[in-house]
């Protein structure tokens, strides 16, 4: 974990937020490579969940919503965690995250905790110029409610009938008591959620379908199966709205941790919003001549947690010809750069050809151009950030109009004519 965190800082993937002011606890900024990696994770999710399916459409709902939304969902009344204080070191912890030994994780003192009290997790703000109770609003703690309140809008305009889904990627905010483990648990995070609306009698079937489908997605994008598991929730773990929930978990360095939850939310959310808004949100099935409130199956993933899992699964250290090589064996769909163009040196004869190659590739691929340092060191830099292919322009290129294409994982090299380079890379990157 420490090596991956250091790599993220050194190579511009993730920086501590507000670092020049000493940082701000549990907030992180994604650097030039990190923003590309995170965008690729989100794009891969969207491609699988929306683009490649005819039964799922997209949405981008507002972060600020009417406070009544959070009354209906139960967040204002019940969205809290048990908080305890250590009387010895004054640190605060979630009571349900304490070690079985009863020792304080910070100072080691035993029997030093206060009685647990409920700590509300929603961030409160005010809308408008006057800060009174009538102006109270909340930063959303989840993206799901924006989908539920738009169910009828989307269903009628997209002309969809259950079973169908609405997908959304967006920021959520939770005032976590004990954030930590790098970008795994933070107060500001990005979710990739989909609400799949189904006839009530089909809910169990679709729940099993989405559990299998979401586990498969992580394997398909490069995480080994032995680093993943699907863990069903015990009855006493279930949320008040759920009849079944299972988590896709990853073997993090500190133990198994949740990447994504798949829940059967029943008709709880739509029924609650109908009750609080006074609007009928049921669906009328003309073919069956019946009206019902759909059940909802929800696969909800964390973009930041997924990014961290992909990094940890891809991180490899190996010895090549007596030298240590660090490689991020990221799936090429996730890698920040797909191709790096590397002129052998900053020679006045090589640079124009290398820039020509760059101009050919940049419209099709996300590429890096690097001409600083020895070619061996530049290969190592690209290996370390997961670039699948390096294209080297050397002095032979001037005569034969061909370049050397080096593959990251095997380090095999092929000589490819410049005229065929785009096709050669396209076949390997799509």
**Per-residue pLDDT of the chain in tens (430 residues, 90 and over written 9):** 999 999 999 999 999 999 999 999 889 999 999 999 999 999 999 999 999 999 999 999 999 999 999 999 988 888 778 888 899 998 888 888 788 888 998 899 988 899 888 877 889 999 988 887 788 999 999 999 999 999 999 999 999 999 999 999 999 999 887 788 999 999 999 999 999 999 999 999 999 999 999 999 999 999 999 999 999 999 888 888 899 999 999 999 999 999 999 999 999 999 999 999 999 999 999 999 999 999 999 999 999 999 999 999 999 999 888 889 999 999 999 999 999 999 999 889 999 999 999 999 999 999 999 999 999 999 999 999 999 999 999 999 999 999 999 999 999 999 999 999 999 999 999 8
Please, how many CA atoms are within 13 Å of residue 196, restricted to the half-sphere of its CB?
24
Continuous segment of H or E residues that includes residue 71 = helix 67-73
Show the tokens assigned to 215: 């586990």
- What confidence score (pLDDT) does residue 238 get? 85
- In sequence order, the 6+-apart residues with CB closer than 8 A to the CB of 211 are 230, 246, 262
| Amino acid 15: pLDDT | 95
Q: What is the pLDDT of residue 83?
A: 85
Contacts of 264 (CB under 8 A, 6+ apart): 203, 204, 207, 242, 243, 244, 245, 295, 296, 297
Question: Which of 301, 61, 309 lies closest to 193 in space, CA to CA?
Answer: 301
């Amino acid at each position: 974990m420490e090596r991956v965190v250091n790599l993220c800082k050194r190579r511009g993937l993730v920086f501590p937020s507000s670092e020049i002011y000493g940082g701000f606890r549990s907030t992180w900024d994604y650097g030039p490579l990190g923003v590309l990696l995170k965008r690729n994770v989100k794009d891969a999710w969207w491609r699988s969940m929306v683009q490649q399916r005819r039964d799922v459409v997209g949405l981008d709902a507002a972060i600020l919503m009417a406070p009544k939304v959070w009354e209906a969902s139960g967040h204002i009344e019940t969205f809290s965690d048990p908080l305890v204080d250590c009387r010895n070191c004054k640190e605060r912890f979630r009571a349900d995250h304490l070690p079985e030994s009863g020792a304080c994780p910070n100072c080691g003192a035993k029997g030093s905790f206060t009685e647990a009290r409920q700590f509300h997790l929603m961030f409160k703000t005010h809308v408008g110029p006057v800060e009174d109770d009538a102006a109270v609003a909340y930063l959303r703690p989840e993206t799901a409610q924006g989908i539920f309140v738009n169910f009828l809008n989307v269903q009628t305009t997209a002309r969809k009938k259950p079973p169908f889904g609405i997908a959304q990627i967006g920021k959520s905010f939770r005032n976590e008591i004990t954030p930590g483990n790098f970008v795994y648990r933070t107060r500001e995070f990005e979710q990739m959620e989909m609400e799949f609306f189904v006839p009530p009698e089909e809910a169990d079937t679709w729940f099993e379908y989405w559990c299998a489908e979401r586990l498969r997605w992580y394997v398909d994008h490069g995480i080994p199966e032995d680093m993943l598991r699907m863990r069903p929730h015990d009855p006493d773990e279930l949320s008040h709205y759920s009849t079944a929930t299972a988590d896709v978990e990853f073997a993090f360095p500190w133990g198994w941790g949740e990447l994504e939850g798949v829940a059967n939310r029943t008709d709880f959310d739509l029924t609650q919003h109908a009750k609080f808004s006074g609007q009928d949100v049921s669906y009328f099935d003309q073919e069956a001549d019946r009206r019902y409130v759909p059940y909802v199956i929800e696969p909800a993933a964390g973009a930041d947690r997924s990014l961290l899992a992909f990094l940890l699964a891809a991180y490899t250290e190996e010895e090549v010809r007596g030298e240590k090589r660090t490689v991020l064996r990221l799936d090429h769909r996730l890698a920040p750069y797909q191709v790096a163009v590397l002129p052998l040196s900053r020679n006045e004869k090589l640079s124009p050809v290398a820039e020509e190659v760059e101009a050919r590739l940049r419209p099709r691929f996300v590429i890096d151009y690097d001409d600083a340092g020895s070619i061996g060191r530049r290969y190592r830099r690209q290996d370390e950030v997961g670039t699948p292919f390096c294209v080297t322009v050397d002095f032979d290129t001037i005569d034969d109009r061909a370049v050397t294409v080096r593959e990251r994982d095997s380090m095999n090299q092929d000589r490819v004519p410049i005229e065929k380079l785009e096709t050669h890379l396209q076949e390997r990157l799509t």
